Structure 1
């Protein structure tokens, strides 16, 4: 990944964009410190899709995305339901 100072990225934006499309993500720095990344749209869409999976993706995943704390039956609180008249 090539690093572009912000002034070079602005001055040579077409080259900056073309490099991103042909070589992949490009890093933008300000005062020598990395601040942003320009990524191709396909890569961005893939990242967003992985960040927010659909229901099908969650259900078919190899491992759970979170752990559910389900109390044992001994801890359940039972309540009576009034009989219908």
Structure 2
């Protein structure tokens, strides 16, 4: 179902219930599809099997020796002073 933003705000609990039992609810702003409200079940199914950001970063290419040396050689103190 499609909801205008103002209607979705005014009837948020109904939007959530419809997402739970009827499927994704589309929210529009000035007639343009802007957001979709999903049930937790639908969201979990969408995310299943997908790597997290941490998984993606850890799966990146190994560092070559030059990059590893550059990282190790950098200053150990912060480059900016903290403004307290």
TM-score by length of structure 2 reads 0.57
Q: CA deviation at 1:22?
A: 1.0
Query: Which structure is larger by alpha-carbon Rg, 1 or 2?
Result: 1
1:75 is matched with none
2:39 is matched with 40
Residues in 2 aligned to 1:8 and 1:16: alpha-carbon distance in whole angstroms = 9
2:29 is matched with 30
Aligned length: 52
Q: CA deviation at 1:50?
A: 3.8
Query: Which 4+ runs in 1 deviate beyond 3 A?
Result: none
- My pick for the range that moved more, 31-40 or 43-52, is 43-52
Residues in 2 aligned to 1:52 and 1:46: alpha-carbon distance in whole angstroms = 13
Structure 2: 5+ residue runs without aligned partners? 53-84
Structure 1: 5+ residue runs without aligned partners? 54-85
Q: CA deviation at 1:12?
A: 0.6
TM-score by length of structure 1 reads 0.56
Q: Aligned ranges for residues 1-85 of structure 1 at < 5 Å?
A: 2-52=1-51
Residues in 2 aligned to 1:50 and 1:4: alpha-carbon distance in whole angstroms = 30
- Please tell me the root mean square deviation across aligned C-alpha atoms, in Å: 1.5
